[in-house]
Amino acid sequence: MPRTPVTVTVTGAAGQIGYALLFRIASGQLLGPDVPVRLRLLEITPALGAAEGTAMELDDCAFPLLSGIDISDDPNVAFDGTNVALLVGARPRTKGMERGDLLEANGGIFKPQGKAINDHAADDVRVLVVGNPANTNALIAQAAAPDVPAERFTAMTRLDHNRALSQLAKKTGATVSDIRRLTIWGNHSATQYPDVFHAEVAGKNAAEAIGDESWLADEFIPTVAKRGAAIIEARGASSAASAANAAVDHVHTWVNGTPEGDWTSMAIPSDGSYGVPEGLISSFPVTCADGVYRIVPDLEINDFSRVRIDASVRELTEEREAVRALGLI
């Protein structure tokens, strides 16, 4: 019997990540090769024409799993019955804009979207926030959706995780598939902490295999944490295909599970683990099974890691205070 299509809403659908993402969702890479999808695209009114153009191209791919496409500029329509909500569209920082202005502008996007998810999404909705500042935008959306279980709101640090895998593979001469148990902690920002102390490269402890703490502190961590800025500098635009790829990875892992013996990184509401204040949407090492994620428990955190996790968590706490002061949560 054919399966009922899963409804996937993508906001910012006419943007550059949207353009890289939609075709991968429609081809079955987000949820699996046997799962039909119905796409709902949300855009601002002036970008509806561009979204229509992308929808025409999706039609022209004749994807067997794509059961339909709806386009709207109304969040109440776009999130109607949605099972997976990918919140990509956000207000970028422009010249002269202060951090508070950016948070406020994004509040104007993520608060109504959270409310629309609350009022119209399917009971099993899962939300991934990609639009920056992703962790705090997820917090804003979550606060506007009190009827949706809080743990369904997540933010993306999988791109950082994938970046760290590649950098570590380059350094050690291993392949990315030789590496397991890497972690991104904290915020999707330059304060994030990519942690290799529990990682393994071809079965050996990664930190021991590298044996060079100064490489970790002075090269690996800043390269991963500032990679987004380096891409903007090189491309003249922020990462798009790799961000879309990470969004696909994040949802695919959440729904289909982590491989035995490995984990991934997701920014999720803290339960207080590892000294991260409860409720902050912070990146943790997680395993996923049966559509549910779980923070990897009982990892020993050394001093090198502790100070870096704390710094990123401090930034998240400040962002939470700022949006609280603006009445956004």
Ligand X SMILES: NC(=O)c1ccc[n+]([C@@H]2O[C@H](COP(=O)([O-])OP(=O)(O)OC[C@H]3O[C@@H](n4cnc5c(N)ncnc54)[C@H](O)[C@@H]3O)[C@@H](O)[C@H]2O)c1
Ligand Y SMILES: O=C(O)C[C@H](O)C(=O)O
Q: Which residues bind ligand X (CB under 6 A)?
A: 11-12, 14-18, 42-44, 47, 88-90, 92, 109, 130-132, 134, 156, 159, 188, 238-240, 243
Q: Which of the residues 161, 188, 198, 250 is marked catalytic?
A: 188
> Which partner, ligand Y, ligand X, none, binds residue 100 by CB below 5 to 8 Å per kind?
none
User: Would you give the distance in Å from CA 79 to the centre of its chain?
Assistant: 18
> Which partner, ligand X, ligand Y, none, binds residue 231 by CB below 5 to 8 Å per kind?
ligand Y
Could you say whether residue 228 binds ligand Y (CB under 6 A)? yes
Candidates 113, 187, 239, 283; binder of ligand Y (CB under 6 A) is: 239
Q: Which two tokens stand for residue 291?
A: 């559509």
**Minimum CB–partner distance for residue 239 and ligand Y (Å):** 4
Q: Tell me which residue has its CB nearest to ligand X.
A: 15
Could you say whether residue 58 binds ligand Y (CB under 6 A)? no
Q: Which two tokens stand for residue 241?
A: 């295909």
> Which partner, ligand Y, ligand X, none, binds residue 308 by CB below 5 to 8 Å per kind?
none
Candidates 205, 238, 256, 317; binder of ligand Y (CB under 6 A) is: 238
Residues 17 and 130 sit within 8 Å (Cβ to Cβ): yes
Q: How far is the CA of 151 from the CAs of 163, 293, 323, in angstroms?
A: 25, 9, 19
Candidates 132, 162, 183, 287; binder of ligand Y (CB under 6 A) is: 132
Residues 281 and 269 sit within 8 Å (Cβ to Cβ): yes
Residues annotated within the binding site for NAD(+) are 12-18, 106, 113, 130-132
Length of the chain: 329
Q: Which two tokens stand for residue 195?
A: 């942690």
- Name the one range near ligand Y by CB under 6 A: 18-26, 42-50, 200-208, 235-243: 235-243
Q: How many CB atoms lie within 10 A of CB 294?
A: 15
Active site residue 188: yes
Q: For residues 300 and 198, what is the distance between their CA atoms, to the nearest angstrom?
A: 9
Range list of β-strands (E), 52-95: 66-72, 84-87
Measured in degrees and rounded to the nearest 5, phi and psi for residue 17 equal -70, -40
> Which partner, ligand X, ligand Y, none, binds residue 285 by CB below 5 to 8 Å per kind?
none
**Minimum CB–partner distance for residue 238 and ligand X (Å):** 5
Could you say whether residue 159 binds ligand Y (CB under 6 A)? yes
Segment (H or E) for 59: helix 48-61
**Minimum CB–partner distance for residue 135 and ligand Y (Å):** 11
**Minimum CB–partner distance for residue 12 and ligand X (Å):** 3
Residue whose CB is less far from ligand X, 15 or 285: 15
DSSP 274: G
Residues in Cβ contact with 270 at an 8 Å cutoff, skipping those fewer than 6 apart: 276, 277, 278, 279, 280, 281, 282, 284
Which residues are near ligand Y by CB under 6 A?
132, 159, 228, 231, 238-239, 243
Catalytic residues: 188
